[in-house]
Structure 1
């Protein structure tokens, strides 16, 4: 099955890439979740717009990614959210919440899809979150979650 990726999928590629996968994987996983669209001649025209949008968001060079990683390393990120008396959060911290907290702390504007939260953050305290800035560069953010 021939598909066009609309989001980054680990092990397959970046948005705008044309990939060939098994029929069941594409039909049952990639397409229903919005990670890919069916390849057609009409959809082929969408590849350019997907790639332009990706280029506008993406950190272009390795040096630029290392500079952003250095800025993130020195940044103190605090996120205030609702929590119960026992220290458990009402819900969990999302990648969008983290991106907003980084920008609020004076950091760069991060794409929420690049933020990797290993285990869901459901308690107050200090947590480590990784960010894929470039295929060769990833940075860690020290996130301090406080009750509001």
Structure 2
């Protein structure tokens, strides 16, 4: 189906372009959301008469998105989640989680703006892109950790091994594994068997 785009859409086209898209994409997304019109003579005439208003509205949205992007530039989020010894999260951090945290902090970001192809499933510092407008993108850092203290240590660049994160930096207090160390072939092996 051919449609006339009423705004710039990434990887598809710019304002006023006539593009060919799949029928389902046009019927289910572009037409109902007001992002496009069917490409026919009547709609072309309608677009030409409203072109100045559409360009002004697009510029206004881009300016608003740029303002939010300027505020978000360099932002570091800290997300505390439960994780195992290897750093694997019990669950994940999704685009919805990031959008909700940004909204709590007062930023106008919706879930669809967070470009996260796969959910975050491990602790660490992750770079996440936000597409606030087709022409405005910004990257933020998301620091996923088991505790606020661990997040601060990750932010300083300290390398954390799993034992440090669970037992503390002083290994003399608790020894991971908690048992005696047996060498192969020694008397201890015979006693253990």
Shift of 1:60: 3.7
Distance in structure 2 (CA, Å) of the matches to 1:59 and 1:78: 33
Q: Which residue of 2 aligns with 1:78?
A: 78
Structure 1 residues 59 and 124 mapped into 2: Cα distance closer, same or farther (>3 Å)? Answer: farther
Unaligned runs of 5+ in 2: 36-57, 148-193
Q: Which residue of 1 aligns with 2:130?
A: 131
The partner residue of 2:27 within 29, 37, 57 is 37
Distance in structure 1 (CA, Å) of the matches to 2:61 and 2:128: 22
For residues 66-125 of structure 1, the C-alpha deviation after alignment (integer angstroms, 9 at most, x for no partner) is 211111125331222232121111233211011012223x24131111111255421111
Report if aligned partners of 1:115, 1:132 keep a CA contact under 8 Å in 2.
yes
Q: What RMSD, in angstroms, separates the aligned Cα atoms of the two structures?
A: 3.7
Larger helix proportion of the pair: 2
Report if aligned partners of 1:126, 1:143 keep a CA contact under 8 Å in 2.
yes
Q: Which residue of 2 aligns with 1:97?
A: 97
Matches within 5 A, 1:13-52: 20-21=20-21, 26=22, 31=24, 35-37=25-27, 47=31, 50-51=33-34
TM-score calculated relative to the size of structure 1: 0.60
Q: Which residue of 2 aligns with 1:141?
A: 140
Determine whether 1:115 maps to 2:114: yes
Flag the structure with more relative contact order, 1 or 2, with Cα contacts below 8 A and sequence separation at least 6: 1
Hey, which bits of structure 1, 4+ residues long, moved more than 6 A?
Answer: none
Report if aligned partners of 1:83, 1:89 keep a CA contact under 8 Å in 2.
yes
Report if aligned partners of 1:72, 1:107 keep a CA contact under 8 Å in 2.
no
Report if aligned partners of 1:92, 1:120 keep a CA contact under 8 Å in 2.
yes
Report if aligned partners of 1:93, 1:120 keep a CA contact under 8 Å in 2.
yes
Structure 1 residues 65 and 109 mapped into 2: Cα distance closer, same or farther (>3 Å)? Answer: closer
Distance in structure 2 (CA, Å) of the matches to 1:141 and 1:59: 24
Structure 1 residues 63 and 146 mapped into 2: Cα distance closer, same or farther (>3 Å)? Answer: same
Structure of greater Rg: 2
Structure 1 residues 59 and 107 mapped into 2: Cα distance closer, same or farther (>3 Å)? Answer: farther
